[in-house]
Structures are given as C-alpha cells and as structure tokens.
Amino acid sequence: MMGMVDAEAPFLTEHTEDGPPLAGVSDFRGRLVYRTSSGGWRSTLFVVVMEVASAFSYYGVSANLITYLTGPLGHSNAAAAAGGNWWGRATLMPLLGAFVADSWLGRYRSIILACILYVMGYAMITLSSVLSTHHPSLPDNTSSHPLSLQVAFFYASLYLIAIAQGADNPCALAFAADQFDPDHPRECAARSSLFNWWYFSLAIGITISVGVVSYIQENLGWGIGFGMLCALMLCAFVVFLLGTPTYRLYDATPGTDSPFVLLARSLAVLVQHDNATSSSLLGTKIEYQLEYKDTATKKEDARAVLRLLSIWVACLAYGVAFAQVMTLFNKQGRTLDRHIFGGLELPPAALQTLGPASILLFVPIYDRVLVPVLRRATGTLSGLTLLQRVGTGMVLTLASMLVAALVETRRLETAREHGLVDDPEATVPMCWAWLVPQYVLIGVAGVFAEVGMQEFFYDQMPSELRSLGMALYYSVIGMGNFISGTLVSLIDRITSNGGGDSWFADNLNRAHLDYFYWLLAGFSAAQLALYLHCASTYVYSHKRLR
C-alpha cells in the first residue's frame, strides 16, 4: 500500500500544478490532458502552418490551371473554363469529409489522411506535367494521341487533391478551434478571433503562391512548379505531426449517430403530424413530458437547419462570381499589357495576387478600425451581425461583376479601335491596372462574405451538426462553381450554334465576356434580393451574436 502511495505522489503533484484535467479531451494516446501542456495558440500554429501550405499548393495549381489546360493540354477556352472548375467540385467534397470524420475517423485522423492524399496527388500531377512536356499536345488529334492517357492521369491527380480537400477543409478550422476551451475566458477570447486571422493567414499563402508559383511554372517549367508544391506539402505534413503531443482531441463518441443521421431524424420529426395528445393518453405524465421535450428539441434543430439552407441558397451568387477569378479573369489579363518596371512582364495568374493582397490589407483595417467604429454605431459587439456582414459581401460581389463587365467592354472597344479583332495573340494596348478594381472588390467581398459565412454556419448550426455547418460554407463555393461551369457550357453551345462566335471564343477579341459578366451581375442582383428577404425574416438560434 505504501509503495502504491509513493508511486502516485509525483502524479498528484503534477496535477496540482497544472490544474484538473480538461473534461472530454484526450491526447493522441487517449490520455488526460491539462491546460498548461496542451492546446491554445501553440497547438493551433502547427495546424495553421499546414493549412497555409495547403492553400499555397492548392492555389499554385488552380490559379494558373486554365493556362496549363489551354497550353500544354490543348483545351479550348470554354472547355478549360468548365474543366478548370474542378476546384469547385473540390469544395463540395467537405460534405462527404464531414460525414466520414464525424462518423469514423475524427478530425485529427482525417487531417492525416488528407495530408497523405495531398502528397500523392501533387506527386502525380508533377509526373503528368513532366510526361506532357516530353509529348506535346496536338489539339487537332487529341483523342488518338498518347497524351490522352496523360490527360486522364492529370485529371485523376486533380481529383485526388479534391478528395484530400474534402477530408481537410471541414476538419482543419474546427480542429484549430478545438484547441481553445470555450469555458475558459482567455481561451474563449482567443478563439473568437481565430476566424478572421485564419482567413488572413491563408491569404498570405495564396498571395505568395499565385505570384511566385505561376512565374516558376511559365518560366522554369510546369514540372518544377508542381514538384515544388509536392515537396512543400510533404514538409507541412511533418510539421503537423510534430504538433501531435500538444493537440487536444475530441473524437467522435462510440455508438453515437453521425450528424447526417441526426439531421435526417430531426427533419423526419418535423414533418410528422403532432401526436402529442394521443401520446399523453398512452403513457404517464412524466413520460409524455420527456417525449414532448425531445420532440420539440428535434423540431427546433430541424427548423434551424432549414433556415440555414435558405441563407445558403441566397449566398450562391458569391460562389458563382468567385469562380471567375481563376478562369475568365485570368484569360482577360493574358490579353493586356502586363509590363512593370520596364521590361518585366507579369504572368496572368500573378494578377490574382491582387485579391489576396487586398485581404491582407483589409483584415487588420476591418478588425482594428471598422469594428470599433461600427460597434459604437450599431451597439453590436462585433460591429455587424453575422448576416449583415455576409450581406455586405454580397453587395461587393455584385459591384465586382458590374466593374468586370465595364472593363471588358472597354477592352473590346480598344481591340476594335486598333484593328486587333482578328489577331488573338496580340496584346491589347490597355494596362493591366484596369483589372485591379474587380480583383480588389472580390477580395474585400471575401473578407465580409466568406468569414461571415464561416462564423454564421458554425454558430447557428445545432452543436451536433457544426461540422456539417462548415461543410455547408465550403459547398457555397463548390455549388457556385458548378453553376458557373454549367452556364459556360450552355451559353457556349447556344452562342456558337450556326457558326457564330461564342461568348467564350478562343479569340477573346471576338468573344463577349462582357455579356457573361452582365448576366452574372443580374444573377447577383436577384440573389441579393433573395438574401435580403431571407435575412430580414431569419431568427437567430442563439442570443449571443458575434
């Protein structure tokens, strides 16, 4: 007995110094964890490093993908714009990833799986680009050329990365938030700022990526550019694993249903007829009260989800507009004069740094200047309510499409004035700076819309369904890309019927991207009207609004 007391004494001393163990939390070995030795910013930074590398690599592919598709792979503009929207499909994968993580793997193991798939995907895309360099494409005979197998291999690698995104996106931000205790005042305050600075950190990776990687791809070689991304993800994976001893893990409780099953049951309860009266005749009063309370809770959860879905539908215009940044905005930039500092010419994808750069500048301004001013004006702690913040982003999205349409109209007029309509390779004598407003507007719109959607879908979703809430946020971007790709394919087929020039003709000087932008502006205006109606009737699920 004395030996047992002596053996336990050191542990008792350690517990006194660290305080009691955190309830419902364990480390990677299933042991109890303590506040002073786990979680907080020390753990979150490992996750942030991994996610910045993930964003860097992901945008290193997607930002210049349309150039690779229309160049080495020989796709047309319309086909590349539709095929290049694979990343929209990637943003739908979190719906599946949330289900797998909450039902079986847990967030930590899902992130590990994602890292493995990332490394495999970027290794495959590197190999594919090296092979295509040795076997240039022949667009007129692509179907019979050996490159067709390489094209299939290339797309397989893209969708492997998309699957990795599905496992990573719904888990990484939630896993980072898990490292803060919501019941501890200091940690709760730190977690409340996580969403803004998480978006800020990713913008750093994106800004560097679209500027540096696109330059390497077009000047040093696609294989080198893609290979660098593979090496970076491998290093980021190692960094994430180094943080493992400090992580606080909230694994799914064995035997509990997944959020999707809980949601289905709640919706089923909502549509059933109210049999409360008959039920009271069949059981005791206590049994009836418990049953009624459980049914009422399920109904309220279901109503909350349905209210969220109406807001989700009204936000799709943002996803449609955002899809143009890496496709048609890119093609516009390729036709303009991109020279800076004399002879240095920017690659078209480098112009996409304007969006993330505006995020880097605006997030501190919003957090440190606008929020205090708005707080005094509105009396709301966060300056704007969550729906007001998203709505502001929707207004800026509409403005970006209007500006894009006006700039493209000006570009086409300049091409006609200088007789360049029939010269698809000519540089239109118009400075690249004309594109700055549309890039900046869509970047600032993201600070309002995307961060607002992240907080809104997380905060307003029932606690058991919050991973589904994060997946809904990502699916706004994904579904927006599906809508954009469908519109491009449909309009291209209609406008090219009869031998006429398509709105997305390979010769952009004969195309009409301006018409497409006007169409998207109209779509954004209609969605904004729908959003304002849904937001005006929305009832928040929680009294605490950030």
Please tell me the predicted confidence (pLDDT) of residue 251.
Answer: 54
pLDDT-derived band at 545, boundaries 50, 70, 90: very low
Given a contact cutoff of 8 angstroms between Cβ atoms, the answer to whether 319 and 478 are in contact is yes
Q: What is the pLDDT of residues 392-432, one digit of tens each?
A: 999 999 999 999 999 999 999 999 999 999 988 889 999 99
CA dihedral of 456, 459, 464, 466, whole degrees rounded to 10: 40
Q: Write out the H or E segment, with its range, that includes residue 454.
A: helix 436-460
Name the residue among 516, 526, 520 with its Cα closest to residue 408.
Answer: 516
* Interior angle at CA 14, CA 13 and CA 16, nearest 5: 65
* Interior angle at CA 206, CA 226 and CA 349, nearest 5: 65
Q: What are phi and psi of 344, to 5 degrees?
A: -75, 125
Decide if pLDDT at 297 tops 70. no
Please tell me the predicted confidence (pLDDT) of residue 136.
Answer: 52
Q: 437 or 64: which carries more pLDDT confidence?
A: 437
β-strand partners of 339: 345
Please tell me the predicted confidence (pLDDT) of residue 508.
Answer: 92
Report the distance separating Cα 357 and Cα 364, nearest Å: 12
Give me the helices (H) in 63-180, please.
65-70, 77-83, 86-90, 94-100, 107-134, 147-178
Domains of the chain: residue spans and CATH: 19-251 (1.20.1250.20), 304-546 (1.20.1250.20)
Rg over CA atoms, the chain: 26
Given a contact cutoff of 8 angstroms between Cβ atoms, the answer to whether 387 and 459 are in contact is no
Q: Return the percent helix, strand and coil in the chain, to nearest 5.
A: 75, 0, 20
Given a contact cutoff of 8 angstroms between Cβ atoms, the answer to whether 168 and 111 are in contact is yes
Please tell me the predicted confidence (pLDDT) of residue 2.
Answer: 40
Q: What is the pLDDT of residues 87-113, one digit of tens each?
A: 666 667 887 888 788 777 888 999 999
Token pair belonging to 365: 């301004």
* Interior angle at CA 198, CA 193 and CA 203, nearest 5: 135
Sequence-separated (6 or more) residues with CB below 8 Å from residue 127: 153
Q: What is the chain's mean pLDDT, rounded?
A: 80
Q: 393 or 329: which carries more pLDDT confidence?
A: 393
Token pair belonging to 387: 């729906």
Please tell me the predicted confidence (pLDDT) of residue 147.
Answer: 54
Given a contact cutoff of 8 angstroms between Cβ atoms, the answer to whether 247 and 37 are in contact is no
pLDDT-derived band at 274, boundaries 50, 70, 90: very low
Q: 404 or 474: which carries more pLDDT confidence?
A: 404
- Which pairs count as long-range contacts for 135-141, CB under 8 Å and 24+ apart, including other chains? 136/72, 137/72, 137/73, 137/74, 138/74, 139/74, 139/75
Report the distance separating Cα 460 and Cα 540, nearest Å: 7
Q: What is the pLDDT of residues 223-242, one digit of tens each?
A: 899 999 999 999 999 999 99
Decide if pLDDT at 464 tops 50. yes
Rounded to whole angstroms, what are the CA distances from 377 to 139, 366, 371, 380? 60, 15, 10, 8
How many residues comprise the chain? 546
> Side chain identity at 226, as an amino acid letter?
F
Given a contact cutoff of 8 angstroms between Cβ atoms, the answer to whether 402 and 282 are in contact is no
> Side chain identity at 168, as an amino acid letter?
D
Q: 262 or 173: which carries more pLDDT confidence?
A: 173
Q: What is the pLDDT of residues 487-534, one digit of tens each?
A: 998 999 999 887 778 999 989 999 999 999 999 999 999 999 999 999
Please tell me the predicted confidence (pLDDT) of residue 302.
Answer: 67
Report the distance separating Cα 331 and Cα 508, nearest Å: 8
User: 410, exposed or middle or buried, with CB in 10 Å at 0-12, 13-18, 19+?
Assistant: middle
Decide if pLDDT at 5 tops 50. no
pLDDT-derived band at 14, boundaries 50, 70, 90: very low
127: number of CA atoms within 13 Å, CB side? 14
Please tell me the predicted confidence (pLDDT) of residue 331.
Answer: 83
Mean pLDDT value across residues 469-480: 84
Please tell me the predicted confidence (pLDDT) of residue 461.
Answer: 78
Decide if pLDDT at 74 tops 80. no
Which range scores top for mean pLDDT: 15-29, 289-303, 317-331?
317-331
| Of 257-271, 429-443, 525-539, minimum mean pLDDT range | 257-271
Decide if pLDDT at 390 tops 50. yes
pLDDT-derived band at 485, boundaries 50, 70, 90: confident
Sequence-separated (6 or more) residues with CB below 8 Å from residue 42: 246
Decide if pLDDT at 141 tops 50. no
Token pair belonging to 60: 């290193």
Decide if pLDDT at 443 tops 80. yes
Decide if pLDDT at 318 tops 60. yes
Please tell me the predicted confidence (pLDDT) of residue 540.
Answer: 83
Q: What is the pLDDT of residues 76-90, one digit of tens each?
A: 766 666 555 566 666
Decide if pLDDT at 3 tops 60. no
Mean pLDDT value across residues 178-190: 78
> Side chain identity at 90, as an amino acid letter?
A
Q: Of all residues in the chain, what percent carry a pLDDT higher than 90?
A: 33
Token pair belonging to 445: 């719109």
